[in-house]
Every structure is written in structure tokens, then in C-alpha cells.
Structure 1
């Protein structure tokens, strides 16, 4: 089922379906829009550069040999500089008109019921306890402590290829305002 990130859940493992001719035709039409869609990088790169100048804001690190897709704009806050939780920062930033969200998904994929409780294809137990693999696979909370910690600190802002320089400056102004408030409050 789809919905908000905190409502997302995976109920069972699914089959892998190949693309149909109709889906291919739609995809081909979408490819023509790719250049405009990739311009979202311009918006994200601008935000990364400008937000990186705000004390207490940690924009995403983008190595020089790569490019970020900016599906959403992710960042974290330095809680030693800004005395506020990520949830609190999001609440105030949203009140200022920036539609920020806390986290991306509420928990790691391996903690969803389908993987944690090993909901399989019928009674096969595959792929979790498959004789072809030779050992049992289990997923537990704490398996990826850094990912779990990061997910608990992540703030996201939606961005798209239609954002203007004015939109970027408005986001920048509001993030700066909220960060300044929590720096001075400390």
C-alpha cells in the first residue's frame, strides 16, 4: 500500500514482473522529458551549496565524481549547534511554509514485517531458509546501527525541476531563520 512514508508497509514478497510493450511506450515518452527532470539537480546543487553555509545544517555530501538525483532533498542538523530534535526542527520549518518531513521511511526495510517475520511464497521458506542457499537468513533491529541512527536524524524537503531561484531562496531563508532561532536559543 502506498501513502505517506510513515504509512508504508510491505505485506509480502512479490514476483518480478517484466515491462510490457505499453509500459515501454510510456517510458519512451517519459525519456523525452529526462533533460527537464535532470534539471532538478540544479536546484539540489544550489541548495547544497547555500545550506552548507548555514551553521548547524549538514547538507548531503556529493563526491565530485558523482551526481545526486535529489529525489527528495535530504539534510541533517548538528544537534550540538542547534538545540532541537530533528522532529522539532521539521515542525517549525513546516510552520514557516517549507513542507519538510522527518525521515524518509519510518524504519529500515529489513524491519518491515515481510522481512522480519519472513513472509514467504506459500510455505517454501525461500529465500530466508532455502536449501539452495545453505544457511538461514534473519533480519533484526540493530543489524545496521549506522543506517538506523541516520534514519532517525534525516530531514527531507520535496524539490522538483520546476523550482525557480526564488523557490530555492525562500527555502534557504526559512531554513536559515529556523537554524538561527535554535542557535540563539542554545
Structure 2
């Protein structure tokens, strides 16, 4: 576990990986989605909260429904992607803590503080969304994380059966079309945004 990854692996996960705006006509199957989950669930969250709830939009009908709620610039991404994940968060994630974090009475930490739950759900579901992106890249897939959508409309259309789930962000997944990416935006050197005390 302590051996550094190869340069090729680091390139695939970070240095050469890009955000895609279009995808090749190549499917992503259900087994791959299970593989994604089995990797991303291993990433750390506070007290093993695991608040992310993912809706995998794989059918043309589901992606078309979702496209109705995104900005005009995001519609082509959705139309070309074989999968778009709605990364949502469960505001009542604490109900699962007795079995997810049996080491302490973690449920009681959140039971009477919804604002704390919302903050923690947002923070930790965002972490899980980042793990999703890295898991996809590790499995040879490409991603296009995005905001630019109507959260309330997505929640009403896709999460109505779970009123305590709220959408965080969207992420297209597939085999990226290299012609769809922009020139890489600047990535600053360490000293620009970092301090060591």
C-alpha cells in the first residue's frame, strides 16, 4: 500500500486526465457501474457517513429527462454520454450510522442538528463524487463533472421518492472524445496558493 504509483498511473488519474464535453459511441455497462461503486465506496468520509446517493441515468429516456433540467451548454454533453450520474446526498444519512460506524453512537451527533447534517452531507458527498471521478479514470473511463443545472427540478423529477435526498452535482461518464476537450486551463505552481507553516 505504501509503494508510489507509476508515472503512467499518475498520468491516467491526474496529469493527462481531462474533463470531457463529448463521448464516443461506446457503451458503459452495468457491471462497470458496480465496479465504480465498489471503488468509490472505499474512499474515506467522516465517521464513514457515506451520504452520497447516486442515480445512474443510462437509458436515452432518463438522460433526455435530465437534459431538460441542465443549461444549454451542458445539453450536448448529456446527449453524447452513455451514462450521467446524479450525485445526490442524503440529509438523513445519520440513520445509517449505527451499522456504518458501529464504533460509537455517531447517530446522536447529528440527530437533533439538521444544519450540521446538511453541511456534513454536502462535504462528504462531494468527496464521494471526487472518488467517483478517480474510480472512473482508474477503470479507463472518462468524466465530465458539471453544475449548471436546476437542482430543484432534478430533485423533483428524479428524487421524489426520496424527499430527503438532494442533488449535489452531475457527472457524465463514458469513453471521451478527444476532440471535445479544451486546451488545459492553468494549473498554478505550489507557491501560488499554498503556505507551509
What's the TM-score, normalizing by structure 2? Answer: 0.29
Higher CA-based Rg:
1
Q: Which one has the bigger strand percentage?
A: 2
Normalising by structure 1, we get a TM-score of 0.30
More helix by share: 2
